[in-house]
Structure 1
Amino acid sequence: MSRHTVELLILAALWGGSFLFMRVAVPELGPIAMIALRVGIASLTLSPVLLDERARTEIRAYWKPLLIVGITNSALPFCMFGYSMLYLNAGFDAILNATTPFWTAAIAAVWFRTPLSRAAILGLVLGIAGVGILVSDSLSLHGAHVPAAIAAVMVATISYGFAGNYSKRNLVGVKPTTVAFASMAFATLVLALPALATLPSAAVSMQAWLATLGLGVLCTGIAYVIYFRLIAHVGPAFAVSVTFLVPVFGMIWGALFLGEKVTLLMLVGCAVILLGAALIVGKIRLPVARSAG
C-alpha cells in the first residue's frame, strides 16, 4: 500500500470521525457555538500559513471571495450538520454528505451552464434515488424534527456544491492552503457573535470539550493539510475519491463508539449514492455510444 493511499485512508477516517465528534459535542454546546469553536480551532491550527508572504498578499487581494467561501463552505454547512446531529445518527449524516458531488454538478449545469455528460445525468438520478432510500429509512427514526434535520443536511451539501463552483471561478491561482486558512478564519468571524449569543447555560462535560477539540484540530485543521498534500502530490482526482470512503468510516465509528444501528436500507442507500457520485466525478465511465452506420 502506497504512502498516498495510507494518507487517503487517514483523511477518510478523520472526516468520517467528524460526524462522531459532532454527535457527542452538539447536544451540550449547541450547533452554532460548537461550530464556531471548530472553525476557530482549525484557524489556529492552520495559522502558520500566515508566515508565507504570498498567502498574506492573496488574503488581502481576494478577501471578498474568501469570505463568501468561508460562509458557504464552512460556516453555513457546518452549522447545518451540527443541527442535524441533534436528531440524526453519525452514519446517516455521513452518507447524506456524500451527495455533495450531485449538487456540485447540478449547480454547475443550472447556474454556470456547464453541460452534463450522460454519466453525470445518470449519477444525479441515482443520487436522488439514494436519498429517497435514506429518507424512507429515516421513517424508523423517532422525532418530529427528523425531516428538518435531513433538510438541513441537504442545505449543507447544496452550499458545498455552490462553494466548489464559486471557488473554481473566483479563486483561480490562489494557494489551496490560503483558501483553507482564510475560509476558516472568516467563518470564525461570521459565527463569533451568534456563538456568544447561544452559549450553553449548563456546564459542559469534558467529553464534549475533547470532542470539539478533536473536531477542530484533527478533523478540520490536520485533515485539510492532508487533503491539500494529496492534491499537490497526486492530483485532485485521487484526493476527491475520499468522498467514497467517508460514509464507510462514518458508519463504522458510529456503530463502534455510539452503538448506532446500521440498517440494510442505510447500506443500500449508501451504495446507490456512492455509485452515482462515482459516475459524476468520472471514477466510473459509461461505454461510448456507437454511431449508426
Structure 2
Amino acid sequence: MSTLDCTPATTTPLPRAVARDWMTPLELTVLGAIWGASFLFMRVAANDFGAVPLVEVRLALGALVLLPFLWRSRAQFPRVLWPKIALIGAINSAVPFILFAWAAQRAPAGIGAIANAMTVLFTALVGFLFFGEKIGARRSLALLAGFAGVVVLASSKVAGASIGWAVVAGATAAFLYGIGINLVRRHLTGLPPAAVAAATLGTSALLTLPFAALSWPRHAIPVQSWLSASMLGVLCTGIAFVMYYRLIARIGASRASTVTYLVPLFGVAWAWMLLGEPLTWGMGIAGAMILGSVALSQRATR
C-alpha cells in the first residue's frame, strides 16, 4: 500500500513523516483484519477441499502474487541456495498451513487464530533452545503464561465438542513458524524479504503438489469455497506479505510485529459475525492469557 496524500493542491503538503504516522496504524489494522480473515476462509473452504488441496491452492496463488519480486531479484538466488529455501519453505509454510487447515475442519476459526498468536513466544523459545539466544526472566514468565493459555484453550469445549486436537495442531503450526523464522534470520538474511517469501511459497507449492493431487476431492467444489481459497491465497498470503514487508521496511520489525495482537481479535470477530460461531469463556480467558504473554514478551524484547 502506498502512502496516501490527502492534502489539497492549493495548500502546503503535509510532511512525509506525518502522513506515514497517520497511515501506520491504519495499515496495521488492515493487515490484522486480513490475516484474521484467513482463518475464516480456511473454515469455509477446508471441508470441501480437504486440508492439503486447500493449502496447495493457497501456496500457488500466494507465490504467483509475489513472483515479480523474485524475478526482479533472481540473480541473488544461486542454484545452491534452493535446497535450503525448499526446506525452510516446508517448515515455515507448507506444514503449518496444512496443520491450520486441518484444525479448521475440526474447530471454530477463532481457535486457530488464537493459537497462531503463540508464534512470537515459540520464536523466542526456539532461539533459546537451539541458537543460544538469551531469554531472560520476563520472557520466561511470558512463555509459561502463553503455554498455560494453550492448555486452557485445549481443554475448552465449543458447542459441547472437544477442540483439543485442533488446538494441538494450531500450536504445533505456531512452533514450526518459530523454527522457520529463526532459520530465515540465520540463513536468508540479506536477501529481499518479498523475494524470499515468493521462493519459499513457490517451493512449498511444488513439494505439496503430489500430495494435493492424490487427495484432490472427487466431488464438485462449491463456488463459495473456491472464492474463499482464492482470497486465502491472493489476499491473505500474497498481498498481505507485501504489506507486511513494506511495514517492516518503514517502521521496523518490532513495531510491525504488533499486528500479532490484532490477528486473533479479528479472527474471532469475523467468525462470530459472518459464520455465527460461538464465543466461549474458555476462548476469552485463553486469548487474554496468550495475548498478555505476547505483550509481556514484546516488552521484554524492547
**Counterpart contact for 1:62–1:171, Cα < 8 Å:** no
Which residue does the alignment assign to 1:291? Answer: none
Per the alignment, residue 252 of structure 1 pairs with 269
Alpha-carbon distance between aligned partners in 1 of 2:74 and 2:293, rounded to the nearest angstrom? 36
Q: Is the 8 A contact 1:30 1:200 kept in 2?
A: yes
The change in CA–CA distance for 1:174 and 1:50 in structure 2 (over 3 A counts) is closer
Kindly, what percent of the aligned residue pairs are identical?
A: 37
**Superposition pairs for residues 80-229 of structure 1, below 5 Å?**
80-138=99-157, 141-142=160-161, 146-229=163-246
Moved over 6 A (4+): none
Task: Give 1:160 shift.
Answer: 0.3
Tell me whether 1:48 sits opposite 2:68 in the alignment.
Answer: yes
1:63 aligns with 2:121: no
Where does residue 54 of structure 2 map in the other structure? 34
Work out whether residues 70 and 199 of structure 2, in 8 Å CA contact, stay in contact via their aligned partners in 1. Answer: no
Q: Which structure 2 residue ranges, 5 or more long, are not aligned?
A: 1-20
Q: CA deviation at 1:139?
A: 6.9
The 5 A counterparts of 1:11-26 are: 11-26=31-46
Do the aligned partners of 1:46 and 1:221 also contact (CA within 8 Å) in 2?
Answer: yes
1:181-220 alpha-carbon deviations (Å, 9 max, x no partner): 0011011001000000000011100000000000001100
8 Å CA contact 1:55, 1:175 repeated in 2:
no
Distance in 1, Cα, partners of 2:235 & 2:125: 31
- The total of aligned residue pairs comes to 282
The answer to whether the 8 A contact 1:19-1:91 is kept is: yes
User: Which whole-Å CA distance do the structure 2 matches of 1:106 and 1:80 have between them?
Assistant: 20
Compared with structure 1, are the counterparts of its residues 30 and 284 closer, same or farther at alpha carbon in structure 2 (3 Å cutoff)? same
- Normalising to structure 1: TM-score of the pair? 0.92
State whether residues 156 and 164 of structure 2, in contact with CA within 8 Å, keep that contact through their aligned partners in structure 1: no
Q: Residue 172 of structure 1: SS of its match in structure 2?
A: coil
**Paired AA for residue 27 in structure 1:** N
What is the alpha-carbon distance in structure 2 between the residues aligned to residue 12 and residue 122 of structure 1?
26
| CA deviation after TM superposition for structure 1 residue 58, in Å | 2.2
| 3-state secondary structure, aligned to 2:299 | coil
- Out of 270, 280, 284, the residue aligned to residue 267 of structure 1 is 284
Taking structure 2 as the reference length, the TM-score comes to 0.89
1:64 Cα deviation from its structure 2 partner: 2.5
- 1:200-251 deviation digits (Å, cap 9, x = unpaired): 0111000000000000011000000000000001110111111000000001
Over 3 Å counting, the alpha-carbon distance change for 1:281 and 1:62 in structure 2 is farther
Q: What do you get for the CA RMSD once the two structures are aligned?
A: 1.6
- Give the C-alpha shift of residue 89 in structure 1: 0.4
Distance 1:203 1:240, change over 3 A: same
1:138 shift after superposition? 3.1
The one-character-per-residue Cα deviations of 1:36-75 (angstroms, maximum 9, x if unpaired) are 00000111111111341x3443253521221122101110
Is residue 59–residue 178 contact of structure 1 (8 Å, CA) maintained in 2? Answer: no
Unaligned stretches of 5+ in structure 1?
286-293
Displacement of 1:140 = 5.6
